[in-house]
Amino acid sequence: MKRGVSELAYFGGSAAFLQKVFVGRPNVGDRARFLDRLDWVLNNRWLTNGGPLTREFEGRVAELAGVRHCVATCNATVALQLLARACGLTGEVLMPSLTFAATPQAMRWIGLDVVFCDVDPATACLDPARVEAALTPRTSAIIGVHLWGRPCAVDELDKIAAANGLVLLYDAAHALGVTTGGRPIGGFGVAEVFSFHATKVVNSFEGGAVVTDDGELAARIRRMHNFGFASPGTADSVGTNGKMAEVAAAMGLTSLDTFADSVAHNEANYDLYRAELAGLPGVRVIGYDRQERNNFHYLVLELDGKITRLHRDVLLDVLRAENVMAQRYFAPGCHEMPPFRGEPAGTLPHTERIADRVLALPTGPSVTREDIRRICDVVTMAVNHGAEVTHRWRARRGEAGTREVPE
């Protein structure tokens, strides 16, 4: 327990954790089961190119997502590119700026123009009204992002896409195992993309997948992710190499085996964070709709600096000094990153406001209840003494002559 501001590690106290506690610590799952699978892969001498474990993984992901088809890929960024290409996107694609850089990067990399729309402050996902206002004759698609695993306004976006002849896709990197209106994420729009990166709730080291009910689209993507081959060695379309390796599928299957346990652990963590931080003025744990299925993968705090007198970046520094490696998921908004700059400042006010306030804290199966109590103790100490912490933080920054001080 910290008994005063001077005991915070940032101001010279000892750190709350001897070793770093990370956001996105991988869920390794049952190691023996993984090693069995790995052994099987090596004995089978079939290491990639649509091997049996990859097919099994695809079947299990499709089932979880409630769709007929799944094409597993080397990562979600390539999955987004394959999907965009397979749908024949051209010109402009609309998407939120409040996302991981992969969403716009994937589109820009294949030559599409990215147009950012503001988010609905209630969901932090695309605001359908802003999408409608951004349509031009060059718009070919809408890409929704289920941010932090909280679903987009799928019905409204569907109506806009249908009324304007647009392709509707979802970046569902955060939303495996989530439902909206009782229906699993995976079956909305033309297709959706999951990520199985090491840091995700289900991981395959690196990996991704396109899921869809459209068999023709899935077949096209399957060909495209294998050099465009329609038959061995013969390409009938432009293609790339986006395949998942068997070792990745072995990890993905092992991670799926414990998916329900991981979600239960995440949910218990989420409840404990909420209980520990309840009533702390100006601090909100971003919520999940308990009527739906959630994966509780991201634990996101929103800090109202006017109340706390403590900016998110100050709290981030304070936490990191304690070895709590919180993350600014997601700041800055992508529209403020050099490859995408061009929007006049202030055009995405909700995005900018949220990006300025949010902070992801460690959760997942490797984070214990005691870890959470200690993390919340630091947050509580810093927030309860927000003005003093900010003052001392500024003084230290000023002495060091480093970056500008957030308001």
Distance, CA of 359 to chain centre: 13
Smallest gap from Cβ 395 to ligand T4K, in A, equals 28
Between the alpha carbon of residue 138 and those of residues 94, 114, 322, 388, the distances in Å are: 11, 11, 49, 52
Binding status of residue 81 toward ligand T4K by CB under 6 A:
no
What's the CA dihedral at 357, 363, 364, 370 to 10 degrees? -170
- The correct pick among 145, 160, 299, 372 for binding ligand T4K (CB under 6 A) is 145
Binding status of residue 23 toward ligand T4K by CB under 6 A:
yes
Choose the binding region for ligand T4K from 224-232, 276-284, 325-333, 396-404 (rule: CB under 6 A): 325-333
- DSSP H or E run through 156: helix 154-164
Between the alpha carbon of residue 77 and those of residues 73, 104, 144, 206, 242, the distances in Å are: 9, 10, 14, 10, 10
Nearest to ligand T4K of 330, 393 (CB atom): 330
Pick from 220, 211, 171: which is nearest to 64 by CA?
A: 211
Please tell me the count of residues contacting ligand T4K according to CB under 6 A.
Answer: 24
- The correct pick among 51, 151, 177, 208 for binding ligand T4K (CB under 6 A) is 208
Binding status of residue 27 toward ligand T4K by CB under 6 A:
no
Distance, CA of 278 to chain centre: 25
Q: Edge-to-edge strands of the sheet including 299-303?
A: 283-285, 299-303, 358-361
Binding status of residue 209 toward ligand T4K by CB under 6 A:
no
Token duo for residue 106: 């994937």
Binding status of residue 316 toward ligand T4K by CB under 6 A:
no
Report d(CA 241, CA 75) in Å as an integer: 11
Binding status of residue 198 toward ligand T4K by CB under 6 A:
yes
Token duo for residue 143: 């890409």
Choose the binding region for ligand T4K from 17-25, 135-143, 220-228, 385-393 (rule: CB under 6 A): 17-25
Token duo for residue 175: 């939303």
Nearest to ligand T4K of 200, 385 (CB atom): 200
Smallest gap from Cβ 201 to ligand T4K, in A, equals 11
How long is the chain?
407
Binding status of residue 26 toward ligand T4K by CB under 6 A:
yes
- DSSP H or E run through 183: strand 183-184
Choose the binding region for ligand T4K from 83-91, 149-157, 195-203, 335-343 (rule: CB under 6 A): 195-203
Choose the binding region for ligand T4K from 31-39, 95-103, 255-263, 376-384 (rule: CB under 6 A): 95-103
Binding status of residue 195 toward ligand T4K by CB under 6 A:
yes
Binding status of residue 99 toward ligand T4K by CB under 6 A:
yes
Residue least distant from ligand T4K (Cβ): 24
Q: Which residues contact 75 (CB under 8 A, 6 or more apart)?
A: 195, 197, 206, 207, 208
Choose the binding region for ligand T4K from 97-105, 161-169, 219-227, 287-295 (rule: CB under 6 A): 97-105
Pick from 258, 266, 382, 374: which is nearest to 316 by CA?
A: 382
Binding status of residue 331 toward ligand T4K by CB under 6 A:
no
Binding status of residue 97 toward ligand T4K by CB under 6 A:
no
- The correct pick among 25, 33, 108, 320 for binding ligand T4K (CB under 6 A) is 25
Residues at the interface with ligand T4K (CB under 6 A): 22-26, 75-77, 99-100, 102-103, 145, 171, 173-174, 195, 197-199, 208, 325, 327, 329
